Amino acid sequence: MKTPFITFEGGEGSGKSTQINLLGDYLQQKGIDFITTKEPGGTPLGAEIRHLLVEGEEDKMDAYTEALLFFADRRLHLTQKIWPALENGKWVISDRFADSTVAYQYYAYNKRLSMHDIDMLYQFSVGDFKPDLTLILDIDPAVGLDRSFKKAETMTVKETRNENRVLIFHHNLRQGYLEIARQEPERCVVLNADTDIETLHHNIVRIIEQKFGI
């Protein structure tokens, strides 16, 4: 079986980090070799790009600039971390990948950036490579933002650039993710993230067991 590349997607406060950690515990118990990573910031240079993208004022750059920075980070991520791990037989679990660019820079920005432009950037930097499974954690934006701001209160660095955007941005984002899932049902699974942590974890494990025959 091909070594899986699994991505977690969703709006702010949907619980991706928590669920990735729990999935890591599960894979470890099963004796599966894996790495967890994230976008942006999955590499040392990518961490510098992350600071530009998730900190500061929400209007400090436009959608085109954001997309270029995200794909620069993604190319680094693939060449330095994701592809080498997969080639070495390790599962890769990533907190966000290219669906985030489509959801944020296309749908959330109300289509200021065309899908043609995004597809062109994708082909240039990623090629035909795609995740084997994408888990989209769906949550009401108001609930997710409340969670995210509470988490930010405990953080030294405030990564709240996206959280500070107007609520309609986050509603557009949510609808964007649901549209991505509708277009690629073989790859994407939407899960209700407005539930308790353990229930969501069990639902994720069930999907992964069925998908990859664990």
pLDDT for residue 14: 86
Domains of the chain, by residue range, sit at: 5-212
Q: Cα–chain-centroid distance for residue 126?
A: 16
pLDDT for residue 26: 97
pLDDT for residue 144: 76
Kindly report the backbone phi and psi dihedral angles of residue 5, in degrees, each rounded to the nearest multiple of 5, phi listed first: -115, 115
- Cβ of 205: how many Cβ atoms within 10 Å? 17
What whole-number distance in Å separates Cα of residue 39 and Cα of residue 111?
A: 22
pLDDT for residue 51: 87
| Tokens 């669906």 belong to residue | 99
Domain spanning 5-212 has what CATH number?
A: 3.40.50.300
| Tokens 């794909």 belong to residue | 71
Burial 68-90 (b: 16+ CB within 10 A, else e): ebbbbbbbbbbeebbeebbeeeb
- 124: tokens are 């240039």
What whole-number distance in Å separates Cα of residue 201 and Cα of residue 24?
A: 11
| Tokens 């709006």 belong to residue | 11
If phi over 0 gives left and psi between -120 and 50 gives alpha, with beta otherwise, what is residue 94?
A: beta
pLDDT, one tens digit for every residue, the chain (214 residues): 689 999 999 988 888 999 999 999 999 999 999 999 999 999 999 999 998 887 767 777 888 888 899 999 999 999 999 999 999 999 999 999 999 999 988 998 877 889 999 999 999 999 999 999 999 999 988 887 777 667 655 655 455 566 566 678 888 999 999 999 999 999 999 999 999 999 999 999 999 999 998 8
How many residues appear in the chain? 214
pLDDT for residue 183: 97
